[in-house]
Amino acid sequence: MTTYPPEVLLWQALFMFQTHIESRRQFERDKATDAFRANLGIISGNRLEHIAHIDTVNYFMAHLNPEELQKVIRKNIRDLIRSKVLDDFRFDGNFLVAVDGVCFATFKHPHCEYCLRRTTDGVTTYFHYALVAMLVSPTGLVLPIEIEFIENTPDKGKTLSEKDDEFKKQDCELKAFYRLVGRLKEKFPRLPITLLLDGLYANRNVIGICDKNNWNYFISLQKDSLPAFQKAVASDLKKHPENTWQHRTEDCCRTFRWTTVLHHDFQKDSQKKCSPQPLLMFAIEETEDFFKTKTKRKFAYITNHRPSRENIMELIHEGARQRWKIENETFNTLKNHGMELQHSYGNKGYCLQNYFLVRFIALSIEQFLTFSNGMIKILSPNTILPSREKGISLFGSLKQMAKRLLESLRNDIIEIIDLSNMRFSIFSG
């Protein structure tokens, strides 16, 4: 019997996502070359007689504690932060961290005892969800920091009425958020953070946690949330008409408004008991008025970044509105650009969770390759490209890069290059 070290099996799983192979069966065919075996050995630091069958990789994924892959994700971001290559991405001194939930597996039948359940028109669906904290930036660079799975506790041994109760009290995004930010503070205690959150998080607990952790935040303010606070905002805006600024371009007029500091007592907004200690908050908003289409869009946020005429546009454009990067640049890339987020590569044990995490490690590597000058320096050192040209320009698209990587792994033996004296940078503009 052949045994394989964990790093070999992990690299095999990583290659499956980095080369954008759509199924395990296809990967079994594509990896069957001597060059692929030799390359896997070189990268994982092992001499390999054989490549593991995908069932062996699955067995490993089913049994590996997902926390081990979380450690890889954390180490990666910690190394990048410490080496200061991400310093140009800071916003007002902070790293922008967007948090959002994503569904990554759906079943018609119960898949495991941790599945979330939803019943619509008498039909119950079972699914798995995760809450993801990503470092985001205006350039489109996105890097995972922390991931929390949204899962039910098993209802083994419970009575039917207890199970029914459990059904009503399922795990949810907000509960997972408190676990996620607890770990974020524990693992990155001194990291200066601005959280980017949607309207679900406009509550006293979330804002109180930010306050206690010395974090900044931008939280979307929806029409129907926090009515007492919105009343105070309307009154403050009326009292201070000077807190308005307009910016006109050829096709659009942008009107920005912001409040003076408001000390909000959340008890006025909540049926439930909450701390009477008021919190300092600002409300900021932007209305876009498009001339050609005669359409208007409004964005409103709660924040503890202090707004002024000088910084209001930057706060909204380079801060608050960066939240969409987690949907567009992260989840969309994972779903539609080769990583097959909702395709199941294995359902047993921790397979779902671990393949989900491996995709994020693959995404981090892909992000580094596309947003840094690393590939240009290594592959084409004599090419003089404009300083902002990204690595992706050597290939044209992510799809082409993945295709070329697969061809290369199958056909050419990796040449080891000494990188110790090379300095790489990630483009921030």
Interface of this chain with Zn ion, residues 315 to 374, rule: CB under 5 A: none
Q: Could you tell me which residues are beta bridge partners of residue 149?
A: 130
Buried b (16+ CB within 10 A) or exposed e, 254-292: bbbbbbeebebbbbebeeeeeeeeebebbbbbbeebeee
Task: Pick the closer one to Zn ion by CB: 111 or 183.
Answer: 111
Q: Could you tell me which residues are beta bridge partners of residue 256?
A: 245, 286
Task: Pick the closer one to Zn ion by CB: 112 or 228.
Answer: 112
Min separation Cβ 21 and Zn ion, Å:
24
Task: Pick the closer one to Zn ion by CB: 105 or 326.
Answer: 105
Q: How far apart are CA 391 and CA 102, in angstroms?
A: 28
Min separation Cβ 17 and Zn ion, Å:
21
Residue 112 as a binder of Zn ion (CB under 5 A): the answer is yes
Strand, helix or coil for residue 123: strand
Min separation Cβ 108 and Zn ion, Å:
12
Stretch of 104-112, 184-192, 223-231, 405-413 lying at the interface with Zn ion (CB under 5 A): 104-112
Stretch of 113-121, 187-195, 223-231, 279-287 lying at the interface with Zn ion (CB under 5 A): 113-121
Residue 14 as a binder of Zn ion (CB under 5 A): the answer is no
Residue 115 as a binder of Zn ion (CB under 5 A): the answer is yes
Residue 378 as a binder of Zn ion (CB under 5 A): the answer is no
Task: Pick the closer one to Zn ion by CB: 115 or 219.
Answer: 115
Min separation Cβ 113 and Zn ion, Å:
7
Burial class (CB in 10 A: 0-12, 13-18, 19+), 344: middle
> Cα-Cα-Cα-Cα dihedral of 15, 77, 329, 360, to 10°?
30
Task: Pick the closer one to Zn ion by CB: 126 or 299.
Answer: 126
Stretch of 42-50, 114-122, 177-185, 237-245 lying at the interface with Zn ion (CB under 5 A): 114-122
Site string for Zn ion, 157-196 (x = CB under 5 A): ----------------------------------------
Provide the total of helices (H) and of strands (E) in the chain, helices listed first.
Answer: 15, 11
Residue 323's alpha-carbon distances to 134, 136, 284, 336, 386, in angstroms, are 10, 8, 15, 19, 29
Token pair in block for residue 3? 């045994």
Residue 117 as a binder of Zn ion (CB under 5 A): the answer is no
* CA 354 to the chain's CA centroid: 16
Min separation Cβ 343 and Zn ion, Å:
16
Min separation Cβ 112 and Zn ion, Å:
3
Residue 43 as a binder of Zn ion (CB under 5 A): the answer is no
Task: Pick the closer one to Zn ion by CB: 59 or 126.
Answer: 126
Q: Could you tell me which residues are beta bridge partners of residue 123?
A: 120
Q: How far apart are CA 249 and CA 68, in angstroms?
A: 50
Residues 6+ apart with CB under 8 A from 179: 148
Residue 111 as a binder of Zn ion (CB under 5 A): the answer is yes
Sites of contact with Zn ion (CB under 5 A): 111-112, 115
